[in-house]
Amino acid sequence: MDSIGVLMACPMNSYLEQQLDKRFKLFRFWTVPDKSSFLNSNKDSIQAVAGNATAGADAELIEALPKLEIVANFSVGLDKIDLAKCKEKGIRVTNTPDVLTEDVADLAIGLMLAVLRKLCESDRYVRSGKWKKGDYMLTTKFTGKKVGIIGLGRIGMAIAKRAEAFSCPISYYSRNEKPEINYKYYPSVVELAAYCDILVVACPLTKETHHIVNRDVINALGPKGVLINIGRGPHVEEPELVSALFEHRLGGAGLDVFENEPYVPEELFGLDNVVLLPHVGSGTVETREAMADLVIGNLEAHFQKKPLLTPVV
């Protein structure tokens, strides 16, 4: 299969890059000085695109690649892929569900504990020598807090299962109520936010869920509420979030994603009630290897005319 051209949208994982290079004819899109020129010259060679949370296959790229058959995503989120265009052109799309569910759920709980118990701040307190001068302040108990989840898919359910072990009552919002689920359903995100102590974003990013956490939701969550975002930056209206935190209209936030990664609003750096992570949700050695294997497995299956492992389209 080493004559099959695969375009890797951006750097994402060296193991994956290595494997793609070994098995296919790999084009590294980020090393190309003139992208339009490159596409023009190589459009007939490229049959696959490998994308991730940062870059995928928008309408423009798809149109530029007439031989494109499959987009294999190194993420579970599909917001960087024009799914409608792929459907229209019969292009297959795969992602990496399940293998990253646990890591992302673990991180959500980690963020909740880190924000409520001020773990990063206390660690800083020790390393700066301040403990010698006095005890750290009291923080807030996590066990028993009401956790509200936006989106009860694989990741949302995994977060719920973990939070339940801390006796957290679980409630959720999703497009449709799930009658088989024993958690409390709220028909709107504002109502969910008003009711819970900790609001977690765990739904896919689509046109409908863009800025699903807006000023009204943030105000409903309130000065004792905490927002946890392990979804996508654009789920949250970031300037509203920043001013709410600043003005103490929101109690705290644990954020793994931002609207313009890797740029993080610097106003947040001085706050002790936020935890800011560099989009590490699925960032463990174990999981990225499993994700890479899924990308490769899907590509090989496609070109061997076998059933795709994790098709979306």
Annotated catalytic sites, by residue?
Answer: 232, 261, 279
Stretch that binds its own copies, among 16-24, 82-90, 121-129, 196-204 (CB under 8 A): 121-129
97 is a site residue for its own copies (CB under 8 A): no
DSSP β-bridge partners for residue 306: none
SS3 96: coil
Task: Tell whether residue 123 is a contact of its own copies (CB under 8 A).
Answer: yes
DSSP output for 1-21: -TTSEEEE-S---HHHHHHHH
Which residues does 244 contact at the CB level (< 8 Å), separation at least 6?
215, 218, 219, 250
246 in contact with its own copies (CB under 8 A): no
Q: By CB under 8 A, tell whether 114 contacts its own copies.
A: yes
Written as six digits, the tokens of 252 are 């705290």
Residue 161 binds its own copies (CB under 8 A): yes
Q: 199: part of which helix (H) or strand (E)? A: strand 198-201
Largest Cα–Cα distance in the chain? 68
Question: Which phi and psi (to 5°) does residue 259 adopt?
Answer: -65, -35
Q: Are the CB atoms for 53 and 13 separated by under 8 Å? A: no
* 165 Cβ neighbours under 8 A, 6+ residues apart: none
Our finding on whether 302 is near its own copies (CB under 8 A) is no
106 binds its own copies (CB under 8 A): yes
Q: Which two tokens stand for residue 234?
A: 């654009």
Of the candidates 228, 240, 231, 174, the one whose C-alpha atom is nearest the C-alpha of residue 205 is 231
Q: Which of 137, 132, 178 is nearest to 156 (CA)?
A: 178
Nearer to its own copies, 4 or 115 (CB): 115
From the CB of 276, what's the least distance to its own copies, in Å? 4
Q: Please give the Cα distance from 276 to 268 (Å, whole number).
A: 8
Phi, psi of 201, rounded to the nearest 5 degrees? -90, 120
Residue from 44, 60, 88, 164 touching its own copies (CB under 8 A): that is 164
162 binds its own copies (CB under 8 A): yes
Give the nearest distance from C-beta 120 to its own copies in angstroms: 4
Shortest distance in whole angstroms from residue 264 CB to its own copies? 6
Question: Can you tell me which of 19, 42, 139, 243 binds its own copies, judged by CB under 8 A?
Answer: 139
Which residue in 42, 154, 284, 293 binds its own copies (CB under 8 A)? 284
Q: Nearest 5 degrees, angle CA 44-CA 46-CA 49?
A: 150
Binder among 2, 136, 178, 206 for its own copies (CB under 8 A) = 136
- Spatial contact of 119 and 139, defined as CB atoms under 8 Å apart: no
Minimum distance from CB of 288 to its own copies (Å)? Answer: 6
Residue 248 touching its own copies (CB under 8 A):
no
Asked if 8 is part of the footprint of its own copies (rule: CB under 8 A), the reply reads no
Please give the C-alpha separations between residue 107 and each of 40, 90, 103, 217, 250, in angstroms, as whole numbers.
Answer: 42, 36, 6, 23, 21
> Using CB under 8 A, which of 38, 166, 185, 303 touches its own copies?
166
Size of the residue set binding its own copies (CB under 8 A): 53
Exactly one of 144, 187, 223, 239 binds its own copies (CB under 8 A); that residue is: 144
Q: C-beta of 41: minimal distance to its own copies in Å? A: 29
Residues interacting with its own copies, by CB under 8 A?
A: 102-103, 105-107, 109-111, 113-114, 117, 119-120, 122-127, 131-132, 135-136, 138-144, 161-162, 164-167, 261-264, 269, 275-280, 283-288
